[in-house]
Amino acid sequence: MPENILNKDTARIGFIGLGLMGSRLAQHLHSAGWNIQAWNRSPEPAKALSREGVMIAASLANLVASSDVVLSSLANDAAVRSVYFDGGGVFSLVTPGTIVLEMSTISPELSRHLHQEASNRGVHLLDVAISGSTPAVEAGTITLLAGGDQIIFDKCTAIFESIAKQWFLIGPGSSGILMKLVVNLLLGVDMQAIAEAISLGEHLRIDRGVLLDVLSRTTVISPAFVGKFQKIKNNDYSPEFPLRLMSKDMDLVMDAARASGADLPAARVAQSVLAANLSSSGNLDLSAITPAVVSLETSR
């Protein structure tokens, strides 16, 4: 293996955040043979991963002190701020030269703050946003969208190979998260469009089973949404990508649009529908907006 590429036989990996995505990413790295330990703010997810053979760090301090590369996958800006900037957080513990791969979907402002603080401390940080939900993580077919230094990006190739199908350096720091917002704009708007198409089909009295089966086989449905049709058909909205996270991401999209001067009328509608269903369906899968849209249209 070239000297500039991380070697799984020698590199020590620390993984922070063991939610739907993080737990699966950590398990992939463990299964691929990396020397990995993990940590989570709440203990239950860590206990579950421990039963799968992943070493759990006694504390965040222990994890950071004993890692050459730190990865994190956290729920939102608040969680990232806490883990990185609070007293006893990553930046108060990390040593110069450490590589940090921050994989959460967060605001561009916070991402830029992370890059600046990392630079101040001699830490090599990449924002590495994930495109793909939990089935893609489990299958190792996610796409990674990175922002940061080319040399550090290339050095981490072996890690990327262990968890993803493809990976791209979009540009300098925070470019990965910017690209993720573009991608998730499509995700949110497309799910809204699918829900409305199903609503129209049902109002036109097309047989529901036929409607869902045929729609899922048309070329206008991207591969990312094919599995959603089975969930809708079975009324099974167990979360692969929770609606609350899609709502959070659409809020980030609209904030970025306002800051940049972009006008996104379709995204504005999708944001509104997601927000309206947070209290009832926030912990369900994103596809749970479908019955909500159908019900809304029926009640008018």
Residue range 168-181: average pLDDT? 98
Residue 231 has pLDDT above 60, yes or no: yes
Predicted pLDDT at 224: 86
Question: What percent of the chain has pLDDT above 90?
Answer: 95
Residue 135 domain flag: yes
Residue range 236-253: average pLDDT? 96
Sorting pLDDT into bands at 50, 70 and 90, what band is 296?
low
Whether 134 and 275 map to the same domain: the answer is no
The residue type at 86: D
Whether 164 and 234 map to the same domain: the answer is no
Residue 4 domain flag: no
Whether 43 and 160 map to the same domain: the answer is yes
Domains identified in the chain, total number: 2
Q: At what angle do helices 289-299 and 265-276 cross, to 10 degrees?
A: 90
Predicted pLDDT at 223: 87
Look at residues 127, 151, 173 and tell me which one is the last residue of a structural domain: 173
pLDDT tens profile 130-162? 999 999 999 999 999 999 999 999 999 999 999
Whether 27 and 64 map to the same domain: the answer is yes
Q: How far apart are the first and last CA of the chain?
A: 63
pLDDT tens profile 35-70? 999 999 998 999 999 999 999 999 999 999 999 999
Q: CA 37, CA 32: separation in Å to the nearest integer? A: 13
- Mean residue pLDDT of the chain comes to 95
Does the model's pTM come out above 0.95?
A: no
Domain extent for 251:
180-299
Q: Which distant-in-sequence residues (6+ apart) come within 8 Å of 265 by Cβ? A: none
Residue 1 has pLDDT above 50, yes or no: no
Q: Which distant-in-sequence residues (6+ apart) come within 8 Å of 69 by Cβ? A: 6, 11, 12, 13, 14, 98, 99, 100, 101, 156, 159
pLDDT tens profile 182-203? 999 999 999 999 999 999 999 9
Look at residues 173, 188, 212 and tell me which one is the last residue of a structural domain: 173
Whether 165 and 29 map to the same domain: the answer is yes
Predicted pLDDT at 4: 85
What CATH code is carried by the domain that includes residue 68?
3.40.50.720
Q: Where are the beta strands (DSSP E) in 120-236?
A: 124-131, 142-147, 164-171
On whether the CB atoms of residues 38 and 67 are closer than 8 A, the answer is no
